[in-house]
């Protein structure tokens, strides 16, 4: 265990070789050249199960999407226009548990990519949110996921989101990373919850979008 650092050439600038530091941590190679936004696809059948759950469940409320603004939680369609279903992670429904199993595989792969993120235990603690964005809707304003010192927010470490349908013109943008990921069914993306990763949904004028999202929090 432990870590050590060494350098390799990462290219040239004005004729000079620029060394890139590589750190070996817990037998994994880490470099500094990353935006820490990473993802991969999960099985489409998992998404189909979640969509079936959305259509058929009757015991969880579906409400207009709310945002935290001006010191209060409120509906503001200029900020976010959606219909949300809040889902406890402990719910004993096969399609939810199947999703959580697939999500854990993505998180494990994320840790393999960025082992420094795994210095303390974390897991899904807060309820997840399935969200339906109508045509012209979306999470329209730049925002971050750790926004204040309230107990839920302050322990958030990573964010996860899975697109449940294809919307090429309705994915997600990250401000500082100058990054856009289109909504592709099954694609599950993970990123840090803090201010460095301000993001927003790109509004589609052609299609509805469905996602499931939530947080991995320190425990």
pLDDT, residue 16, reads: 44
Contact between 176 and 34 under an 8 Å Cβ cutoff? The reply is no
pTM for the complete prediction? Answer: 0.84
Torsion, Cα 130 88 77 186, to 10 degrees, reads: -20
Alpha-carbon distance of 191 to 36, in angstroms, equals 6
Contact between 190 and 109 under an 8 Å Cβ cutoff? The reply is no
pLDDT, residue 84, reads: 95
Tokens of 169: 């013109």
| Domains (range + CATH), the chain | 1-33 (no CATH), 34-218 (2.60.120.620)
Lowest mean pLDDT among 69-73, 85-89, 173-177, 207-211: 69-73
pLDDT, residue 17, reads: 47
Largest Cα–Cα separation, the chain: 65
């Amino acid at each position: 265990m432990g870590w050590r650092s060494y350098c390799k050439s990462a290219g040239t600038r004005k004729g000079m070789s620029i060394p890139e530091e590589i750190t070996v941590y817990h037998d994994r190679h880490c470099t500094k050249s990353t935006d820490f936004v990473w993802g991969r696809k999960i099985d489409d059948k998992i998404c189909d199960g979640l969509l079936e759950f959305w259509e058929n469940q009757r015991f969880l409320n579906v409400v207009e999407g709310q945002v935290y603004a001006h010191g209060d939680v409120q509906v503001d369609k200029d900020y976010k226009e959606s219909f949300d279903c809040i889902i406890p992670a402990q719910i004993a429904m096969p399609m939810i548990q199947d999703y959580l199993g697939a999500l854990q595989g993505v998180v494990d792969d994320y840790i393999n990519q960025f082992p420094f993120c795994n210095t303390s235990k974390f897991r899904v603690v807060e309820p997840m949110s399935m969200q339906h964005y109508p045509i012209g809707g979306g999470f329209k304003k730049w925002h971050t996921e750790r926004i204040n010192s309230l107990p839920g927010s302050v322990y958030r470490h990573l964010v996860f989101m899975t697109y449940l349908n294809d919307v090429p013109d309705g994915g997600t943008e990250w401000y500082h990373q100058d990054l856009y990921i289109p909504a592709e069914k099954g694609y599950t993306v993970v990123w840090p919850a803090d201010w460095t990763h301000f993001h927003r949904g790109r509004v589609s004028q052609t299609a509805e979008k469905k996602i499931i999202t939530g947080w991995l929090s320190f425990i």
